[in-house]
């Protein structure tokens, strides 16, 4: 098990798939905006909307 360091990889909003290697962030769709591509600068540290993915 990893420590629970915040990153997009353990965020419930990350969705792997589509055109992008790092996945897309679905957080914005929860507030009525479009999904965004996750960028390399964000993926390893997450963002202020980070929320721990459940069930892992």
Binding region for ligand SF4 (CB under 6 A)? 8, 11, 13-14, 25, 27, 38, 42, 46-47, 49-50
Least Å distance, CB 25 to ligand SF4, is 3
DSSP-assigned letter for residue 33? S
Give all strands (DSSP E) within the chain, no chain letters: 14-17, 20-25, 36-37
Q: Pick from 10, 5, 2: which is nearest to 51 by CA?
A: 10
Least Å distance, CB 1 to ligand SF4, is 19
Q: Which is nearer to ligand SF4, 3 or 50 (CB)?
A: 50
């Amino acid at each position: 098990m990893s420590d629970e360091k915040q990153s997009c990889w353990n965020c419930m909003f990350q969705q792997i798939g589509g055109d992008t290697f790092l996945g897309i962030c679905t957080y914005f769709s929860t507030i009525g905006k479009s999904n965004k591509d996750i960028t390399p600068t964000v993926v390893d540290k997450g963002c202020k909307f980070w929320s721990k993915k459940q069930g892992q």
